[in-house]
Amino acid sequence: MTANTQTTTRNQTEVGYEVSKFAFGTGMAMAGLIGLWGTACLVSALVSVGPLSVVKGYFTAMLG
C-alpha cells in the first residue's frame, strides 16, 4: 500500500522591505548621476574660464 503525500511551501516576502530596498537603490543611482553632472559642470567651468575666475565667482555668489 502506498500513500500519496503532498507538501506545499510558501515564500513570504515583506513588501515594505522590497519597496524600501528599491527606493534606496533608485536614490543612490540618482545621487550618483547628480554628483557626476556636478563634477562635469565644475570641470567645464575650470576649463572654460580658469580656476581663479571660478573661485572669484564662488565668493561673489556667497557674499553677494
pLDDT reported for residue 52: 95
C-alpha 22/C-alpha 14 separation (Å) is 13
Side-chain half-sphere exposure of 42, counting CA atoms within 13 A: 8
Tell me the per-residue pLDDT of 18-31, one tens digit each, with 9 for 90 and over.
999 999 999 999 99
Check: pTM over 0.75? Answer yes or no. Answer: no
| 42: amino acid identity, one letter | L
